[in-house]
Amino acid sequence: MSIVGIIANPLSGKDIRRLVSKSRLIPNQEKINIITRILSGLESTGVKDVLFMPDRSNISKTAAENHNGNINSHFLEMSIFDNQIDTTTAVSKMIEQNVKAIIVLGGDGTSRAAVKAIDSTPIMPISTGTNNVFPYLIEGTLAGIATGCVAIDYPSSIDFAPQHKILEVDLNSTKKDIALVDIAISHQTFVGARAIWDINSVSELFLTFANPASIGLSSIGGMVHPILRTESKGMRIELESKNPNLFVKAPITPGEIFNVGISIHELMIPDKKYRVSPKSCTIALDGERTIPVNELDQIEISLRLNGPNVINPFKTLQEYSKSGHFSDLLSL
């Protein structure tokens, strides 16, 4: 039996960046609509059961009730704390119940929380946040169809969910945390509202991939040297506003394009440890300040190739269509 897990972060798309930039707001009703469409897509592929993470806003419960289909909806029994622990816990419990794929609605931070507990189970991250680079911006119905195809045929469909890279942070020779897209070293010494929107506060940047067609810190690397999600390399960048070697124009937040000065940029080699100069600062993971450090702490960043298996919905739909899968499915 192919069970698909669904996690919807009720807090994504609502952080402080709506006040300091032109970022979009994603209300809960839109998340309900997206999940309802996902359920239709899943059901069309033959998925019979879905397992939801519960939430206090009842986003998933309402979506399940609104879906006029025959798919069976189940809910995890777990405590809810309204933070990233919920997502990590839900993934662990879903894996215990042998789900074949997990759909994650949220931003880069939600996906990072999910990956902390993931094994080789494919995930389908869907963007409902702000400057999202890791999740796909895709219509819910299509995401449901793609995920359903992978789940029904898993594990033979694993080629449609290639393994991604991650960044690891070591603090004083001990693994501290991970990032999926970028790690930024911020001059600001406090976590505060977490989100980074002032590029002048960033001194150093580490990237798993660099896409010029993205919004956020990774767009800086994308404007210098594009790197694909699945390439076995990353990028390290030192930012310098006073005497840079080059400037790039990069969209750091929606509707805002900045001239960013760069003194050094280099490709990152997998498993090599890159040491950050000692200083009082905060380490931002996927755009959010998370770890405060002082000048006595030793910070090392590494690129790892053993990240999550992420469904590529566009490739999945294209290849399944070429194989005649949908024609057979619809009896045409």
pLDDT tens-digit series, residues 180-218: 999 999 998 888 667 887 899 999 999 999 999 999 999
pLDDT in tens, 47-82: 999 999 999 999 999 999 999 999 999 999 999 999
Q: What span, in angstroms and rounded, lies between the C-alpha atoms of 43 and 144?
A: 8
The ranges of the chain annotated as CATH 2.60.200.30 are 166-304
pLDDT in tens, 122-138: 999 999 866 689 999 99
CATH 2.60.200.30 for the 166-304 domain, yes or no: yes
User: Residues 6 or more apart from 156 whose CB is under 8 A from it?
Assistant: none
What pLDDT, on the 0 to 100 scale, is given for residue 13? 54
For the chain, the farthest-separated pair of C-alpha atoms sits apart, in whole angstroms, at: 67
Quickly state the pLDDT bin for 18 (edges 50, 70, 90): very low
CATH 3.40.50 for the 3-163+308-329 domain, yes or no: yes
Q: What is the pTM of this model?
A: 0.93
User: What's the rounded mean pLDDT across residues 277-282?
Assistant: 93
* Residue 16 pLDDT exceeds 60: no
What pLDDT, on the 0 to 100 scale, is given for residue 15? 54
* Residue 10 pLDDT exceeds 70: yes
* Proportion of the chain above pLDDT 90, given as a percent: 82
The residue whose two tokens read 């949220």 is 106
User: What's the rounded mean pLDDT across residues 268-278?
Assistant: 96
User: Residues 6 or more apart from 324 whose CB is under 8 A from it?
Assistant: none
Query: What is the DSSP code string of 277-322?
Result: PP-SEEEEETTEEEEEE-TT--EEEEEES---BB--HHHHHHHHHH
The ranges of the chain annotated as CATH 3.40.50 are 3-163+308-329
What pLDDT, on the 0 to 100 scale, is given for residue 193? 66
What pLDDT, on the 0 to 100 scale, is given for residue 332? 44
What pLDDT, on the 0 to 100 scale, is given for residue 196? 83
